[in-house]
Structure 1
């Protein structure tokens, strides 16, 4: 062993170098991630890579107990950080040491570690909690939906706060292990693949794993009495569907629609490329809500989506989101067009496939159905604002813009964009501007002015723009555009994301 003699001055200098940052550089992480639509959503200062949720839920009383373990990396020198959460916390530990915690705002859990965390530090955060989710609300609403035999967590743009602590914004995607103990005879449904079940002393534990990055709002939990069906698509994708045992008259139509998931995901793969996740499926609980949601790998459907019979169009819409929204997630909520415009357009492609109206005929009908003074045209799908984020214009005008893009760059480039985009940004995040640049690169066409007209202009595109996009303004002016046969089914999905 060789000892090095350090004189006092050199010793002081070496000690300074050993300190990762000055005490003054440590600061609290921001209580929001920086999204102008939802300033308090998400948090700054760290990035989560994995959530391990170990839960126990009693359906009769709506009591939930849990231990959440978050694996994260700090992105700044942190003295304190926030999680988004509503239930009652009994203990928090950071890297094994007890941390202090406090509440602030509508949904913030402020955590102060025993020792500050330097930038780039791995942090293991353990939160023990309990509560009755249905008694909690924030901003005047709840996204925890009670059912006659349990409950469902599925909503957008937030739902995690009611059942696990998180960095609740799509920018911070992570993998998940969700383990839920429920009374025997009750099922717990979540995302991904069912790893195992085990029973002990009247309780059954269901262990689910999502092994690809997943946004917090795309996580789901459903507890109740379900009939679970399994299979494999022709393309080799495992399919897991679940139906509440008390769906009543909607049961047959729900099954006739959702049981086609394997067929439809294979069909969509022809347009969007290989299915990006380890399993696919949907579930239909006995809720009174009216919407559907693209919860990753396990789509949530309200029974009301099937009140008028089977509807494969809504299944196509939510499955299209697995590529556009789930695989490639938005950077900010203003980028919602990438989710909804393309999911709606997938319904137009399905209509074309079924011989019930081509995408062009549907585009012509949408253009003709809204006169120039209709408020429909004042909503800009490329940045609709938080109040109009799920306005029908984001869907229909959004899909109209997709068809206009197809006409602008031609089928070869258009379908190359559809298939290449999910691969280009796989398991990541992207913006409308990112999409424009990608489409320009693939097509070799400048699209700034085009996107301005179809996505950001707060008025109806004029006849020359419509003509260049392949639409029929002359016939539209005369009201001569016939309604495609598929329109009724497509319109029935207009409430897919209405809370």
Structure 2
């Protein structure tokens, strides 16, 4: 006969008190970071501080084997949490103990630890995995590109799920150790400083280290046959560039551009403040893609970006992103203007420095060369929508906004804003609204109307971006389009090469 146990109320209270509050309150972490454009990107419930990636890659088969160790801190009591990942997972350990895991959707790895995780505690997560990245598609595409001698992964807004598990959103930055074992006849290129390399049994392990906070999509890997050059900036930062040995006619122009990286960084440091990272460089693999990307400390460039000769404005754009986009990253992908508007304006400032057209001339040229009924003006750079995130309006209308700001506050204040912004927000995240508030604080002026007109109005502003004319007010006289600045063609090529 089964008897029901009746526990006195006082004893019941004692039993309840014996259960840790964190265990009672533990819930699954959110499967997304809450981004308005990409709600499934990132995850909730924890912050990653460091990734250690130990990889083996065979170019002939495109087979990748890896062990990723994540050091994170819980932001809530967790019964379960997610990582963004798309390869086959063999085993997961949480705090050294085997954890249950399953997958959902196209790239959600759901992990259930053997015991609930308390809020505010540091945890370690080990994921052992393998797969063929080029065969994996998320939302119909792959960020992993095979090359004749290897592979490269560099894409925005997502690239990590094809090669390592992560909290894949710019709001969760971390430091990285990336160790890649490849056959002796190829090299492995990644972010930061090459800490060491060693060879045995026909394989070479390349150990890369990034010691400053880095977003997951800005973490890159390239395997192939490269010519590697080294240099230093004026301040002594190490510069490492890598060029595929099979770039054909584009090779010399790529070198003529990227070998000026140290010069560009030295110039940028005088305009935007101290360079935020501990390494500089770029790499050009033998890929057929048509874009470039500001992968942290070591931008990725497609060979096609140099098809018409040297393209230093492209290098300026990607290296300006080290301040605007990499060090100061978006809070939400709708804030893409705080990346692209500033990198484009850096190109305009470089043109001004080189005597090939001032930023004002470039702003006036864009304004007058695009008719009011052109779809260009219907894109709002401050919130362009996911489908227009890399539209040329985000770049060019975005840069015009900064020229209008420059005219409104004066050169002295404007360049204080341009230098103080990446210093105050260093290694953090920011929104368009944050920059508006920052500009108002530094200048002491109300600037909401200016930014509303140039960033959030789906029509051509009635006033050109000229000095002495308030944005949004009718011009007092007709405006004649200036001649095309000398640098404009190269700037357009650079923007076309950067858009994804």
**Aligned residue pairs: how many?**
492
- Tell me what 2:243 maps to: 243
- Tell me what 1:484 maps to: 485
- Tell me what 2:165 maps to: 165
Q: 1:405 to 1:386 in 2, by over 3 A?
A: same
- Tell me what 2:497 maps to: 496
DSSP-derived class of the 1:449 partner: helix
1:332-351 mapped onto 2 (5 Å cutoff) = 332-351=332-351
Contact kept in structure 2, 1:327 and 1:422, CA below 8 Å: yes
1:90-105 mapped onto 2 (5 Å cutoff) = 90-105=90-105
| 1:166 shift after superposition | 0.4
Structure 1: 5+ residue runs without aligned partners?
1-7
Show CA shifts across 1:422-467 (max 9, x none): 1101111111111111111111111111111111011111138766
Contact kept in structure 2, 1:242 and 1:283, CA below 8 Å: yes
Q: 1:18 to 1:252 in 2, by over 3 A?
A: farther
| 1:119 shift after superposition | 1.2
Please give the root-mean-square deviation of Cα atoms over the aligned residues, in Å: 2.0
| 1:481 shift after superposition | 1.9
1:76-87 mapped onto 2 (5 Å cutoff) = 76-87=76-87
CA distance in 2, matches of 1:45, 1:470: 44
Q: 1:18 to 1:440 in 2, by over 3 A?
A: farther
- Tell me what 1:67 maps to: 67
CA distance in 2, matches of 1:463, 1:188: 51
DSSP-derived class of the 2:124 partner: strand
- Tell me what 1:5 maps to: none
- Tell me what 2:193 maps to: 193
Q: Is 1:307 paired with 2:307?
A: yes
CA distance in 2, matches of 1:473, 1:140: 46
CA distance in 1, matches of 2:383, 2:190: 31
CA distance in 1, matches of 2:212, 2:15: 42
CA distance in 2, matches of 1:153, 1:404: 37
Q: 1:22 to 1:319 in 2, by over 3 A?
A: closer
Show CA shifts across 1:319-354 (max 9, x none): 000000001111000110010000000000010111
1:26-45 mapped onto 2 (5 Å cutoff) = 26-45=26-45
Q: 1:100 to 1:26 in 2, by over 3 A?
A: same
- Tell me what 2:141 maps to: 141
DSSP-derived class of the 1:281 partner: strand
Q: 1:75 to 1:472 in 2, by over 3 A?
A: closer
CA distance in 2, matches of 1:97, 1:248: 51
1:196-345 mapped onto 2 (5 Å cutoff) = 196-345=196-345
| 1:83 shift after superposition | 0.6
CA distance in 1, matches of 2:352, 2:403: 13
Q: Is 1:402 paired with 2:402?
A: yes
- Tell me what 2:110 maps to: 110
CA distance in 1, matches of 2:400, 2:494: 16
| TM-score calculated relative to the size of structure 1 | 0.95
| 1:495 shift after superposition | 2.1
DSSP-derived class of the 1:376 partner: helix
CA distance in 1, matches of 2:464, 2:285: 48
| 1:235 shift after superposition | 2.3
Q: 1:234 to 1:20 in 2, by over 3 A?
A: same
CA distance in 2, matches of 1:496, 1:223: 22
CA distance in 2, matches of 1:469, 1:339: 25
| 1:15 shift after superposition | 7.1
Contact kept in structure 1, 2:462 and 2:472, CA below 8 Å: no
Show CA shifts across 1:16-71 (max 9, x none): 66644264422111111000100111011111000000000001110000000000
Contact kept in structure 2, 1:226 and 1:242, CA below 8 Å: yes
Contact kept in structure 1, 2:79 and 2:117, CA below 8 Å: yes
| TM-score calculated relative to the size of structure 2 | 0.95
Q: Is 1:124 paired with 2:108?
A: no
